[in-house]
Amino acid sequence: MGSYYYLGAQIPYLVYGQNPPMSSAAFRALALEHMSSADLALMNYCTLDPDPLVPEEAETPEAQAGNLPETQSGEFNTYSVASKKVGSSLINRWKEWERTLRLNLAKERAIKFKRESLDAPDTPPEAVLVAKNALLIESPLEAELFLDKARWDAIDNLQGLDVFSDAAMYAYLLKLLLMERRVGFNAEDGFTEYKELYNAILNSAESSMQKIE
């Protein structure tokens, strides 16, 4: 576990809802000067997607926006299997939180539209509750903003109190990705992304269930 006082002292404080004070690319470049090679390698797993197929896909605009990756066969990832563990507790717990959120969003939408219900994890319970509350919001854009604020709070809770730890650096990168995502939102884009993202999760999960049957 690394301690990165000099890196942490150089980066500006992040405030949810404001524009990012630096890009995620700029932060990665700065981290390159201070972090160990092992800790830097784990940054490849700091993505808004809980399970990108390969670390390189985390660099694509689609992945940075939180969109679902596609498999080689063209099918969307259903998150039916938990992500493989990596050498960071924060990253592992973040992936678990986001995977639970996405699968419960699919489950709640299936219930709302009277479609076949889907199995979804019940832990962490905070992510389950966020999914339930998000589906009560009428505006797709407001729902998306609600989800991103919940993600921000989850990252805060997972980080812990040490603001100079390797976990704090991973949390910082995840927050920058959320801030960059928010900058690109407007009413139309938010609605389109919300529909595409969660319809993809729901439809792919149903498709997977049909194949099992």
pLDDT tens figures, 148-176 = 999 999 999 999 889 999 999 999 999 99
What CA–CA distance (Å, rounded) separates 169 from 150?
Answer: 19
User: In which band, very low, low, confident or very high, does the pLDDT at 79 lie, cut at 50, 70 and 90?
Assistant: confident
Domain boundaries, the chain: 5-212
Main-chain dihedrals φ then ψ at residue 184, nearest 5 degrees: -80, 0
Which pLDDT tens digit goes with each residue over 90-131? 999 999 999 999 999 988 888 888 887 778 999 999 999 999
pLDDT at position 183, please? 84
Q: What is the mean pLDDT of residues 38-56?
A: 81
The two structure tokens encoding residue 64: 């940075």
Main-chain dihedrals φ then ψ at residue 80, nearest 5 degrees: -70, -20
- Average pLDDT over the chain reads 81
- Long-range contacts: 147-155, Cβ < 8 Å, 24+? 147/101, 148/178, 148/181, 148/182, 149/16, 150/101, 150/126, 151/48, 151/98, 151/101, 151/178, 152/16, 152/178, 154/94, 154/97, 154/126, 154/127, 155/94
43, exposed or middle or buried, with CB in 10 Å at 0-12, 13-18, 19+?
buried
AA identity, residue 163:
V
Q: What is the mean pLDDT of residues 68-74?
A: 36
Interacting residues of 133 by C-beta distance below 8 A, sequence separation 6+: 146
pLDDT at position 37, please? 95
Main-chain dihedrals φ then ψ at residue 165, nearest 5 degrees: -80, 170
